[in-house]
Amino acid sequence: MRYAGAEPVRLWHADRDLRGVDAVILPGGFSYGDYLRAGAIARFSPVMGELIPAAVEGLPVLGICNGFQILCEAHLLPGALTRNAGLRFIHADVSLTVTNAATPWTAGFAAGQRLTVPIKNGEGAFVADEATLDELERTGRVVVRYSDGALNGSSRDIAGISNAAGNVVGLMPHPEHAIDPLTGPSADGLGFFTSIVGALTGAGA
C-alpha cells in the first residue's frame, strides 16, 4: 500500500477495531499454522467480528492467499480452498488474466490484461459446486484466472473471485510480491493496490 501511495495501518487480530481504515487487506501467511483448515480458526478472530459486517456494508476487502482462505471460511466469499493437486506446496511465477476489471481492486487493469505474479500455496485449489461456479462465471465474479492452467488444480483455472457487490475480492496469487522487478518477477501486481487507492480517492481508473 505504501508503494501505491497509501498509508498502511496495522490491525491486531485480537482487537475488535478497524481503526477507521478505508479498506482492509487480509495478507497471506499461516494464521494459526493452517491447523484444522487454512483460515478456519482466524475466521473467528475478534477483528473479524468487525470486519465481516463492514464488508457486507461495502468496505473494500482484499484477501490474499491465507486472506482469501479466511474470507471463504467467513462466508464473505463462496467456495473453499483445498489442498493443491499433487498435494505439495507450490511456489512458481504464473501468468494471470484479469477477467473482471470493474472491482475497486482491479479497476486499474484492462479486462483481458495479462499479469506475471507468483503463487505460493499448499491449499490453493479453489473448489465450489457446479452451480456456484456457473453463477460466479455468469455474474462476472471470476476476477482473475490462471492463463496457462492452474498448477494447484483450481476449478476452472480460477485464481480470484469477488462477492456479488465486488468490494470483497479473494486472490490466491501474491500481487504484493510483484510490485518491483528487484524483488519479484514483475511490477504487475502493483495494479491491485493502485486500483484501490484510485477508487478511494475518486481518481478513477
Partner 1 sequence: MSDKDTVEVAARTPEAQQPFKELGLTEDEYQKIRDILGRRPTAAELALYSVMWSEHCSYKSSKIHLRNLTPTEDQSRYLLAGIGANAGVVDIGQGYAVTFKIESHNHPSFVEPHQGAATGIGGIVRDILAMGARPIAVMDALRFGPADAHDTARVLPGVVSGISFYGNCLGLPNIGGELAFDPSYIGNPLVNALCVGLMKHDDLKSAVATGVGNKVVLFGSRTGPDGVGGASVLASATFGDDGGKAAKRPSVQVGDPFMEKLLVECCLELYAADLIEGIQDLGAAGVACATTELSAGGDGGMFVDMDVIPLRDPNLTPAEILMSESQERMMAVVRPEHAEAFLAICRKWDVEATVIGEVTSDGLLTMTWRGATVVKIPPRTAADGPVYQRPLARPENLDALQASGPESLARPADGPGLRETLLALLGSPSLADKRWVTQQYDSLVRGNTVLAMPEDGGLVRVGEETGLGIALATDGNGRYCTLDPYLGTQLALAEAYRNVAMTGAVPVAVTNCLNFGSPEDPVVMWQLAESVRGLADGCKHLGIPVTGGNVSLYNQTGATAIHPTPVIGVLGVHQDVRTRVSAGFAAEGAEVVLLGRTGEEFGGSAWAEVVHQHLGGRPPAVDFDAERQLAILVTAAVSAGVLASAHDLSQGGLAIALAEACLYGGRGCAVALRGDSFTALFSESAARALVSVVPGREREFAAMAEEHDVPATVLGVTTGDALTVEGAFDIPLTELSQVWTGTLPAIFG
User: x-or-dash pattern for partner 1, window 61-100, by CB under 8 A?
Assistant: ---------------------------xxxxx--------
Asked if 43 contacts 32 with a C-beta cutoff of 8 angstroms, the reply is no
Spell out the alpha helix ranges (H) of the chain. Answer: 46-56, 66-73, 130-138, 190-201
Q: Classify the phi-psi angles of 156: left when phi > 0, otherwise alpha if psi is within -120 to 50, otherwise beta.
A: left
CB nearer to partner 1: pick between 101 and 151: 151
Based on the residue annotation, tell me whether 174 is a catalytic residue of this protein: yes
Catalytic choice (50, 73, 123, 174):
174
29 touches partner 1 (CB under 8 A): yes
Positive or negative torsion for Cα 68, 193, 133, 96: negative
Is residue 120 involved in binding partner 1 (CB under 8 A)? yes
Candidate residues 176, 188, 194, 198; the one interacting with partner 1 per rule CB under 8 A: 176
User: CA angle at residue 29 from 103 to 120, to 5 degrees?
Assistant: 75
Does 36 contact partner 1 by CB under 8 A?
no
Of 65, 72, 73, 123, which is the active-site residue? 65
Query: Is position 156 an interface residue for partner 1 (rule: CB under 8 A)?
Result: no
Closer residue to partner 1 in complex, CB, 145/174: 174
* Catalytic residue selected from 50, 73, 123, 176: 176
Please name the residue that has the C-alpha cell 481508473: 205
Helix (H, G, I), strand (E, B) or coil at 149: coil
Per CB under 8 A, 177 contacts partner 1: yes
Looking at beta carbons only, is 30 or 44 nearer to partner 1? 30
Q: Are 139 and 164 in contact (CB under 8 A)?
A: yes
Select from 93, 101, 71, 81 the least CA-distant residue to 174: 93
Binding site for partner 1 (CB under 8 A): 28-30, 32-35, 88-92, 118, 120, 122, 174, 176-177, 182-184
| Catalytically active residues, by annotation | 65, 174, 176
